[in-house]
């Protein structure tokens, strides 16, 4: 499953997002955020390092996170994750 493959990759757990409505299940929840710090399979898939993904704890949907949001988050900037910052990651490892 999607979650298991994520755990097998080298990621940084960057904590939870603010409450956002999951585009997949429509529930308001805090997304679990991960940042890729090296050339993992998914980072390769996304053709970029330092990409972020978000996992919905309600339905386990996986999303690519807007790189601008991830950048701000990692810089410690207070930023709000919006539903439009999440794009479905349909090519799963």
Q: Which residues bind Zn ion (CB under 5 A)?
A: 22, 24-25, 56, 58-59, 61
Return the number of the residue (57 or 74) whose C-beta is nearest Zn ion.
57
Which one, of 24, 11, 5, lies nearest residue 63 by Cα? 24
CB of 76 to Zn ion, least distance (A): 27
Return the number of the residue (39 or 83) whose C-beta is nearest Zn ion.
83
Distances (CA, A) of 58 to 4, 5, 16, 20, 47: 15, 18, 13, 12, 28
Return the number of the residue (28 or 39) whose C-beta is nearest Zn ion.
28
CB of 49 to Zn ion, least distance (A): 26
Q: How many CA atoms lie within 13 A of 91 on its CB side?
A: 7
């Amino acid at each position: 499953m999607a979650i298991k493959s994520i755990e097998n990759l080298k990621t940084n757990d960057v904590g939870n997002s603010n409450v956002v409505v999951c585009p997949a299940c429509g529930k308001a929840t805090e997304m679990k955020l991960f940042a890729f710090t090296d050339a993992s399979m998914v980072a390769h898939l996304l053709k970029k390092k330092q990409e972020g993904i978000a996992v919905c704890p309600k339905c386990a949907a996986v999303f690519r996170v807007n790189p601008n949001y991830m950048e701000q988050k990692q810089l410690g900037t207070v930023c709000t994750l919006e539903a439009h910052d999440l794009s479905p990651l349909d090519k799963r490892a």
